[in-house]
């Protein structure tokens, strides 16, 4: 996997400072989704927001789109002054004309056709006439749905629906594209096609911000990523920067009987980096798996069920920095 | 972004959806016409002829049938908020560069248009039935008054429906509340029986009922041969315009509970 080169510009497409947001929950209580988050998204970047489920990624996107207003953080006594700037302005209804937003869940009327779906969106974004019809035709062509222009959305497959939603996002040529889990549920071909369209828009000047828990996807396509954990920024940088300092090999060991006491012992071995544990898997970064694994078998005996080894990736950096299971959203131990 | 263009696009989309939903389209018109035919004919046979003009209850029922059509149509149209919410489209609409009230206004205009057209279609069919005797005492001005009454009632009911929809989370709950509130209002509006013979307390309730004034307009414009025993068009329009405006601005002048 190769990360893309960082954008040359120093302008910011988005900037948030001391941003907090709480959801009201039944019983009059509040659930803190973002807690004093500070983050900068360079203009022209493909920027990944990584974090386990419920870490606040989607909330951040809705705040950037101006669909929600910041609220007080956990530390109310500190009186932080939240600031959100998007495309150089505070988020507003009018600013949404320059923003494309793809929701995590399918957001299509099943009883409208593909062309009608795009037409309605175009009209809401001030497009019309011949230009709108030409744009709709071109976009349906580019996402491979030209033949289905007159088909009802209810007749489309999941992948086709996602492509139609992407076409809808790109229709008004947004300067900032906010994507929430854009490739969830897509097969590899559909995922590659979707990314091809997105990167094309990015080359044309759009900044792309995507919330995802697919670390491989972020490593492959993003030139900067931010790890968000429990509403806070855990780390931010280019994938290569975040991987710097990691041990060379990553080892996953399926070891149901692993205990914290063993972690202390193994962590003291020479050439062993950080250990994280999310039942039943132990994750370790090491200098050389060829030396680490035999020694592990000696220590564990029959307790180990499976071992997987590969070169360290952004996912390892995530485990290393956040210490949480991306797949399961479980807290670090 | 043009608010008018956005409203027009939403109106076009909702009208197209109703035209595609043939069962909804036909049933919301057939039910009032069936009521007119069956209830109107049946009651006419056993009615004291002095209670309604010439004992012709079927003709008396036409204005009430039109009001009922608007009521059904407004309820169905407003229920589309729930369909849009559940399929996720409402999220996308509210994330467009328009205030939520613009989105809701566009949808409400669709509801008013659809309700108005359906009600006037019912009136046209009813007027074509040979046994129905409509007097149109004001001539062409009566047609204008009837259309005005229908549109004001649709505006009032759509505003009210939006108020309910913004507070009730489920479509089932919405229909329950709408039926619970609107059906009694329809019964005490003079739609099904003349108000002049009611006991005082019931008459007072009827005069506190907004739908009464719409039904009065329709009775005066379509059915009655004089204004004796009716509230009168000036009062009807003054009350209805005020209430429709209040309901519409209240229903659409605030952020809804729907969060993208």
Reported as a single tens digit per residue, the pLDDT across B53-87 is 777 888 999 999 999 999 988 888 888 888 999 99
Please give the share of chain B, as a percent, with pLDDT higher than 90.
45
- Chains A–B, number of C-beta pairs less than 8 Å apart: 73
Q: Nearest 5°: phi and psi at A93?
A: -60, -45
Q: Could you tell me the pLDDT band of residue A2, with boundaries at 50, 70 and 90? A: very low
Which chain B residues are Cβ-neighbours of A118 within 8 angstroms?
none
CB-CB neighbors (< 8 A) of A176 in chain B? none
Q: Do B89 and A105 touch (CB under 8 A)?
A: no
What SS3 state is found at A273?
A: strand
- Is B95 an interface residue toward A (CB < 8 Å)? yes
pLDDT at A332 over 70: no
Q: What residues of chain A lie within 8 A of the CB of B92, using their CB?
A: 103, 107, 121, 168
**Does A152 reach chain B within 8 Å, measured CB to CB?**
no
Residue A124 clears pLDDT 60, i.e. is over it: yes
Residues in A touching B1 (Cβ below 8 Å): 94, 97, 124-126
pLDDT at B34: 85
Q: Nearest-CA residue of chain B relative to A116? A: B13
Q: Test B6 with A123 for CB contact under 8 angstroms.
A: yes
Using a CB-CB cut-off of 8 Å, the residues of chain A touching B96 are 96, 121, 124-125
Instruction: Give the pLDDT confidence of A214-237 residue by residue, as tens digits.
Output: 888 898 999 999 999 888 898 899
- pTM value is 0.81
Using 50, 70 and 90 to split pLDDT, how confident is the model at B254? Answer: low
For residue A94, list chain B residues with Cβ-Cβ distance below 8 A: 1, 97
Per-residue pLDDT of A256-309, as tens digits, reads 888 878 888 888 888 888 788 888 888 888 888 888 888 888 888 788 889 988
Q: Could you tell me if B84 lies within 8 Å of chain A, comparing CB atoms?
A: yes
A158/B contact by beta carbon, under 8 A = no
Check B89 against A126: CB less than 8 A apart.
Answer: no
With pLDDT > 70 as the criterion, what percentage of chain A qualifies?
A: 90
Burial B26-39 (b: 16+ CB within 10 A, else e): eebbeebbebbbeb
Query: Is the distance from CB of B121 to CB of B19 less than 8 angstroms?
Result: no
Q: How far is A23 from chain B (nearest CA, A)?
A: 12
Residues in a beta bridge with A251: A284, A309
Task: Give the pLDDT band of residue B13 (cuts 50, 70, 90).
Answer: very high
Which residue from B minimizes the CA distance to A120?
A: B9
Cα-based angle B123, B227, B54 (whole degrees, multiple of 5) = 65
Which pLDDT value is given to residue A4? 56
B89 close to A (CB below 8 A): yes
Chain B residues whose CB is inside 8 A of the A181 CB are none
Q: Where are the alpha helices (DSSP H) in A143-214?
A: 158-170, 188-203
Question: Phi, psi (5° rounding) for residue A254?
Answer: -85, 110
CB atoms A108 and B10 under 8 Å: no
Selection from B167, B175, B209 nearest residue B75 by Cα: B175
DSSP structure string for B89-143 = HHHHHHTSSS-HHHHHHHHHHHHHHHHHHHHHHHHHHHHHSTT-----TTTHHHH
Report phi then psi at A98, rounded to 5.
-105, 5
Q: Which of A94, A110, A168 sits opposite B87 (nearest CB)?
A: A110
Q: Give the gap in angstroms from C-alpha A172 to the nearest C-alpha of chain B.
A: 11
pLDDT of residue A299: 83
Torsion of CA B197, B201, B203, B204, to 10 degrees: 160
Flag whether pLDDT at B49 surpasses 70: no
Band of the pLDDT at A111, cuts 50, 70, 90? very high
Give the angle A69-A75-A77 at the CA atoms, nearest 5°.
100
Q: Does B22 touch chain A (CB under 8 A)?
A: no
Q: A27: alpha, beta or left, given left = phi > 0 and alpha = psi -120 to 50? A: left
Interface test with B, best of A22, A117, A123, A136 (most B CBs within 10 A): A123
Nearest CA in chain B to A126: B1
Confidence class for position A200, pLDDT limits 50, 70, 90: very high
The nearest alpha carbon in chain A to B98 belongs to A93
Contacts of A166 in chain B (CB under 8 A): none
Contacts A109 to B, Cβ<8 Å: 17, 84, 87, 89
Determine whether the interchain pair B84/A110 forms a contact, defined as Cβ–Cβ distance below 8 Å.
no
Q: What would the pLDDT profile of A18-68 be if each residue is shown by its tens digit?
A: 898 988 877 778 888 898 899 999 999 999 999 888 889 999 999 999 888
The answer to whether the Cβ–Cβ distance between B97 and A124 falls below 8 Å is yes
Q: Which chain A residues have a beta carbon less than 8 Å from that of B17?
A: 109, 111-112
């Amino acid at each position: 996997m190769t990360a893309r080169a960082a954008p040359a510009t120093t302008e910011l497409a988005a900037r948030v400072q001391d941003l907090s947001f709480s959801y009201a929950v039944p019983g009059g209580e509040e659930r803190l989704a973002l807690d004093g988050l500070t983050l900068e998204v360079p203009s022209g970047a493909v920027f990944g927001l990584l974090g386990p489920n419920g870490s606040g990624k989607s909330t951040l996107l809705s705040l950037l789109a101006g669909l929600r207003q910041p609220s007080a953080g956990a530390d109310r006594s500190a009186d932080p002054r939240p600031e959100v700037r998007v495309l150089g302005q505070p988020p507003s209804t009018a600013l949404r004309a320059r923003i494309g937003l793809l929701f995590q869940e399918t957001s299509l009327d099943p009883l409208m056709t593909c062309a009608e779906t795009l037409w309605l969106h175009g009209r809401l974004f001030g497009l019309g006439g011949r230009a709108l019809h030409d744009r709709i035709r071109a976009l349906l062509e580019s996402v491979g749905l030209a033949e289905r222009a007159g088909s009802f959305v209810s007749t489309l497959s999941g992948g086709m629906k996602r492509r139609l939603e992407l076409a809808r996002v790109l229709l008004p040529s947004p300067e900032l594209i906010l994507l929430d889990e854009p490739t969830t549920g897509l097969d590899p071909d559909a995922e590659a096609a979707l990314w091809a369209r997105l990167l094309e828009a990015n080359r044309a000047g759009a900044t792309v911000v995507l919330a995802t828990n697919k670390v491989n996807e972020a490593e492959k396509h993003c030139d900067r990523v931010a790890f968000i954990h429990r509403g806070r920024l855990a780390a931010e940088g280019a994938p290569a920067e975040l991987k710097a300092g990691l041990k060379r090999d990553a080892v996953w060991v399926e070891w149901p009987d692993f205990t914290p006491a063993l972690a202390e012992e193994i962590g003291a071995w020479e050439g062993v980096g950080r250990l994280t544990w999310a039942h039943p898997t132990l994750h370790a970064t090491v200098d050389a798996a060829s030396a680490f694994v035999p020694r592990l078998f000696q220590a564990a005996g029959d307790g180990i069920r499976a071992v997987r080894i590969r070169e360290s990736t952004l996912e390892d950096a995530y485990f290393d920095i956040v210490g949480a299971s991306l797949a399961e959203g479980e807290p670090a131990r | 972004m043009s608010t008018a263009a956005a409203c027009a696009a939403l109106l076009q989309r909702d009208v197209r959806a109703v035209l595609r939903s043939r069962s909804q389209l036909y049933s919301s018109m057939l039910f009032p016409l069936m009521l007119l035919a069956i209830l109107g004919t049946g009651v006419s046979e056993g009615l004291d002829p002095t209670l309604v003009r010439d004992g012709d209850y079927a003709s008396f029922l036409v204005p009430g049938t039109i009001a009922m059509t608007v009521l059904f149509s407004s309820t169905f149209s407003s229920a589309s908020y729930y369909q849009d919410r559940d399929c996720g489209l409402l999220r996308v609409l509210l994330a467009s560069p328009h205030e939520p009230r613009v989105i809701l206004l566009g949808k409400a205009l669709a509801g008013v248009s659809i309700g108005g057209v359906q009600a006037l279609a019912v009136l046209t069919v009813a007027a074509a039935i040979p046994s129905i005797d409509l007097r149109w005492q004001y001539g062409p001005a009566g047609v204008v008054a009837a259309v005005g009454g229908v549109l004001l009632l649709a505006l009032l009911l759509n505003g009210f429906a939006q108020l309910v929809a913004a507070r009730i989370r489920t479509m089932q709950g919405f229909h329950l509340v709408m039926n619970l509130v609107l059906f009694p209002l329809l019964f005490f509006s003079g739609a099904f029986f003349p108000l002049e013979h009611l006991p005082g307390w019931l008459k007072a309730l009827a005069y506190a009922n907004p739908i009464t004034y719409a039904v009065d307009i329709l009775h005066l414009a379509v059915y009655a041969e004089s204004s004796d025993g009716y509230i009168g068009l000036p009062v009807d329009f003054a009350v209805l315009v005020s209430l429709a405006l209040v309901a519409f601005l209240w229903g659409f002048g605030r952020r809804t509970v729907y969060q993208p």
